[in-house]
Structure 1
Amino acid sequence: MFSRSLLCVALCALSLPSQADTVWMKNGDRLSGKITVLDGGKLLIETDYGGSIALKWSDVATLESERQLLVKQGDVAGDVAKSLQPAGEGQVTLANGEAPKTVELASISQIMPPRPLIQDFTWKGNVGVALDYKRAENDTDDYDVSFDTTARHGLWRHNGKANYNREYKNDVTATDNWDAEYALDHFIDEHWFWQGRLSYKRDKIEDVRRQRMLGTGPGYQFWDNELGAFSLASLINRSDYLFANDNKENFYSAALKWNYNRYLLGKSVELFSTGEAGKPLSNVAEYTLDATLGLRYKVTDWASLNMKAEKDIVSGAQNDLDETRYTIGFGIGW
Structure 2
Amino acid sequence: MFFNKPLSTSKYIVVFFCLFGLNSAVFWAQNDTLVLKNNDQLIGEIKSMDKGVVTFKTSYSDSDFKITWLDVKFVRSAQSFLLTLSNGERLNSTLYTENSNYVTLQEETTKKTVLIADIVYIKPVKTNFLSRVVASISLGFNKTKSNNLNQFSVNSELSYTAYKWLFSGSYNSVRSNQDGVSETHRTDARLSLTYIMKKDWFFSSETNFLSNDEQKLKLRSTVEAGLGKFFIRSNKLFFGSGFGLAWNNENFSAINIENKNSMEAYGNITLNMFDFNDFNLNTDLSFYPSLTESGRYRADYKLNLKYDLPLDFFVKLGLTYNYDSKPIAGGSVSDYVIQSSFGWEFN
TM-score bin, normalised by smaller chain: 0.7 to 0.9
Distance 1:311-1:72 versus aligned 2 partners, 3 A rule: closer
The question of whether the paired residues in 2 share the 8 Å contact of 1:39 and 1:225 is answered with no
Cα offsets for 1:188-219 (capped at 9, x unmatched)? 21410111122222245642332111111101
Retained in 2: the 8 A contact 1:251–1:284? Answer: no
- 1:250 and 2:261 are equivalent in the alignment: yes
CA positional deviation for 1:72: 5.4
In the aligned structure 2, how far is the partner of 1:175 from the partner of 1:134? Answer: 16
1:122 counterpart = 2:132? yes
Equivalent residue, structure 2, for 1:142: 151
Q: Is the 8 A contact 1:87 1:93 kept in 2?
A: no
Q: Which residue of 1 aligns with 2:271?
A: 260
Structure 1 21/252 Cα, relative in aligned 2: closer, same or farther at 3 Å? same
TM-score, normalised on structure 1? 0.74
Native 8 Å contact 2:308 2:315 kept in 1 = yes
Closer, same or farther in 2 for the Cα pair 1:261/1:102, shift >3 Å? closer
Shift of residue 76 of structure 1?
6.5
CA-CA distance at 1:64 after TM superposition: 2.9
Q: CA deviation at 1:182?
A: 1.0
TM-score (norm 2): 0.72
**Maintained 8 Å contact 2:262/2:293:** no
Listed as ranges, the matches of 1:139-288 within 5 Å are 139-170=148-179, 172-203=181-212, 206-223=215-232, 227-243=236-252, 244-245=254-255, 246-266=257-277, 268-288=278-298
Aligned partner of residue 30 in structure 1, secondary structure: coil
Q: How does 1:255-334 map to 2 (within 5 A)?
A: 255-266=266-277, 268-319=278-329, 320-334=332-346
SS at match of 2:327: coil
Is the 8 Å Cα contact of residues 276 and 290 (structure 1) preserved in structure 2? Answer: yes
Distance in 2 between residues matched to 1:134 and 1:262, nearest whole Å = 34
How far does residue 107 in structure 1 lie from its aligned partner after superposition?
A: 9.3
**Quick check: 1:69–1:111 contact (8 Å CA) kept in 2?**
no
CA distance in 2, matches of 1:43, 1:73: 14
- Deviation string 1:38-64 (CA, Å, 9 cap, x unpaired) is 568x6736498x95333349x84x433
Query: Aligned in 2, Cα 1:91/1:254: closer, same or farther, shift over 3 Å?
Result: closer
Residue 103 and residue 240 in structure 1: after superposition, are their counterparts in 2 closer, same or farther (change >3 A)? closer
| AA in 2 matched with 1:302 | D
Bigger mean CA offset, 230-239 vs 172-181: 172-181
The answer (yes or no) to whether the contact 1:174–1:205 under 8 Å persists in 2 is: no
Q: CA RMSD in A?
A: 3.9
Contact 1:202 1:211 in 2 (8 A): yes
- Residue in structure 1 matched with residue 113 of structure 2 by the alignment: 105
For 1:270 and 1:281, the matched residues in 2 are separated by 36
Give yes or no for contact 1:234–1:254 (8 Å, CA) kept in 2: yes
Deviation readout 1:101-128 (Å, 9 max, x if unpaired): 9944329966443422469x63323312
SS at 2:114's partner residue? helix
1:105 aligned counterpart, secondary structure: strand
Q: Which amino acid aligns with 1:70?
A: F
- Alignment partner of 1:115: what SS? coil
Listed one character per residue, the Cα deviations across residues 287-308 of structure 1 (whole Å, up to 9, x for unaligned) are 2122121211122241111111
Identical aligned residues as a percent: 15
1:232/1:257 contact within 8 Å kept: yes
CA distance in structure 1 between the partners assigned to 2:314 and 2:192 by the alignment: 26
Cα distance in 2, alignment partners of residues 43 and 329 from structure 1: 23
C-alpha distance in structure 1 between counterparts of 2:338 and 2:269, whole Å: 20
What letter is aligned with 1:106? Answer: V
Q: 1:52 aligns with which of 66, 76, 96?
A: 66
* Structure 2 unmatched runs, 5+: 1-19
2: CA distance, partners of 1:29 / 1:180: 45
Contact 1:184–1:195 (CA<8 Å) still a contact in 2? yes
The verdict on how the C-alpha distance between 1:205 and 1:70 changes in structure 2, with shifts beyond 3 A counting, is closer
Which of the two has greater helix per residue?
2
8 Å contact 1:20–1:32 — kept in the other structure?
A: no
Please identify, of 294-303 and 139-148, the stretch whose mean Cα deviation from structure 2 is larger: 294-303
